[in-house]
Structure 1
Amino acid sequence: MPEGHVIHRLAAELNSDFTGQDLTVTSPQGRFAAEAALLDGHRIAHAEAVGKHLFVDFDIDHPEHIVYIHLGLIGSLRFEPSEDVWGQIRLRIDNGATAANLRGPQWCRLVTDAERDAVVAKAGEDPIRADADPEQLRPRIARSRRSIGSLLMDQKLYAGVGNIYRAETLFRLGISPFRPGNQLTDAEFDSIWADLVGLMAIGVERGRIDTVRDEHTPEAMGRAPRKDDHGGEVYVYRRAGQPCYLCGTPITEQVMEGRNLFWCPTCQAD
């Protein structure tokens, strides 16, 4: 499932290349055809991301004027040449040169302002957004008996944070993923938030997740670059059984919250 930085990049590209233009909106697959017909010929006023939720606000005089997209596990929104039409496209937004093609989303709905606001109200604090307030999280984490590895995956707490950022941030800070939230110090809570803000901003900028510090890059360590579908240089994610870059201990893997968790049992001893 794409993490929050991906959704923010999509919103930025829609704002950069599709606002202020009369657009052709269709649903080649047919499952969004009625809604697409309402939007066809209109303009995007603004697109924004909140965690893993993408909202595309059209300038039509209709109660339902916001396209609400959640990519889920297999969905994708790709920017492709207008003449490039392939696959099961749920929603296609074409500016005449480039088309934003949505395939396989968990959902794609046309919603009202009130419905959008209700979704946002249930979302947690998004480390990428300037209006995020970690102080809203602090008391909730401080009284929770759930592990921090579980809490970081809760989209009602940390919006946009996914499996990779969970594993990487905890490793970088030397915090066990099994530590209960109510055993974190204020300093550790602050460090987790600050690290997420920094790492996820890099993800938006680069379009991939890079978490290793300068001294642990392939060039600095004389090791081969990581080869993985997700790209980017990481410490523990999908490195089960491989030696930790810091201490040499094999990275461990275990399912937590339905997702594979990776950590170093030495650097992150509980």
Structure 2
Amino acid sequence: MPEGHTLFRLAREQHAAFAGREVHVTSPQGRFAAEAELVDGRVLDEVTSWGKHLFAVFGPDVVHVHLGLYGKYTSGRGIPPEPRGALRMRWEGPGEDGEGVWTDLRGATACELLTDGEMGLILDRLGPDPLRKSDPGKAWARISRSRVTIGALLMDQAVLAGVGNVYRAEVLFRHGISPFRAGRDLGETEWTAIWADLVVLLRAGVKAGRIVTTRPEDRSRRRGAVTRDDAHYVYRRAGLPCRICGTPVRTEVMVGRNLFWCPTCQAV
């Protein structure tokens, strides 16, 4: 599932391409047809994100998208291709320089038209987002009272918005914290360090368009582009030696997703 940095990039790109101009909105598949007709031809005010949610504001109406596991946008310039398959929503606009721009949405878990108030209700349910000006103390208030494992809490979007399976595994490794430790057993200093690290990691993800969590000294080569094999400490490295201690990385399912950790560097 795309994590917060991906939605932040999408919001920024769509805002740059379409905001301030009339947008032709359609639903070739038909599932969003009635809603698309309501905003078709209207001026897009802004596109923003919070965590894994994308919001496109057309006056009092908001197109809300959650990509889920299978959602994907494709975009381009000029004349868009003929619609094929389950194309949920298509935007077309003149673009900033007058050349046509378009973006297509397929496979999203949610694609719906909301009011400002309904958008506010979604935001009220979400925890702080490390990519936004938000209060990490709100997450700490939940974590510090919880018997739930920190590995599960980091995946709970009501606790912390935008962190998914990759950032969960990697930030806990980077701080030597077992994913099986209860939230209430985490120290406030530890949480402050985790939050600060997530801010840095997600911002780096926005800039690079990918998740890289390893430090240069822990890679097979310290200079040049980071290879896929060098990008992570534990994520999808089950059975491989830990980059720090050599212990085989372990995996098991936690809150429906495969968790990865080093049992030595992240001892309970």
Common topology (TM > 0.5): yes
Off by >6 Å, runs of 4+ in structure 1: none
Deviation at 1:94, TM superposition (A): 0.8
Deviation at 1:76, TM superposition (A): 0.8
Deviation at 1:107, TM superposition (A): 1.3
SS of equivalent to 1:219: coil
Any idea what the Cα deviations from partners look like across 1:89-108, whole Å, max 9, x if unmatched? 11101114221111011011
AA aligned opposite 1:72: G
> Which residue is equivalent to 1:114?
117
SS of equivalent to 1:73: coil
Any idea what the Cα deviations from partners look like across 1:200-233, whole Å, max 9, x if unmatched? 11111111101001112332399x9325xxxx71
Q: How does 1:1-270 map to 2 (within 5 A)?
A: 1-59=1-59, 65-81=61-77, 82-85=79-82, 86-96=84-94, 97-130=100-133, 132-220=134-222, 225-226=227-228, 233-270=231-268
2: CA distance, partners of 1:211 / 1:162: 14
SS of equivalent to 1:137: helix
> Which residue is equivalent to 2:97?
none
Deviation at 1:34, TM superposition (A): 1.4
Aligned residues: 260
Deviation at 1:191, TM superposition (A): 0.9
Comparing 106-115 with 132-141, which one deviates more in the overlay?
Answer: 132-141
SS of equivalent to 1:156: coil
TM-score by length of 1: 0.92
AA aligned opposite 1:154: D
2: CA distance, partners of 1:35 / 1:11: 20
AA aligned opposite 2:37: A
2: CA distance, partners of 1:258 / 1:199: 24
AA aligned opposite 2:5: H
Q: Rate the CA distance shift 1:204–1:41 in 2: closer, same or farther, 3 A.
A: same
- Identity of paired residues, percent? 51
Check conservation: 2:20, 2:46, Cα contact below 8 A: no
Unmatched runs of 5 consecutive residues or more in structure 1: none
2: CA distance, partners of 1:93 / 1:221: 40
Check conservation: 1:23, 1:93, Cα contact below 8 A: yes
Check conservation: 2:90, 2:102, Cα contact below 8 A: yes
1: CA distance, partners of 2:65 / 2:208: 23
TM-score by length of 2: 0.93
Q: Rate the CA distance shift 1:218–1:79 in 2: closer, same or farther, 3 A.
A: farther
AA aligned opposite 1:118: L
Comparing 147-156 with 32-41, which one deviates more in the overlay?
Answer: 32-41
2: CA distance, partners of 1:152 / 1:37: 38
2: CA distance, partners of 1:25 / 1:215: 48
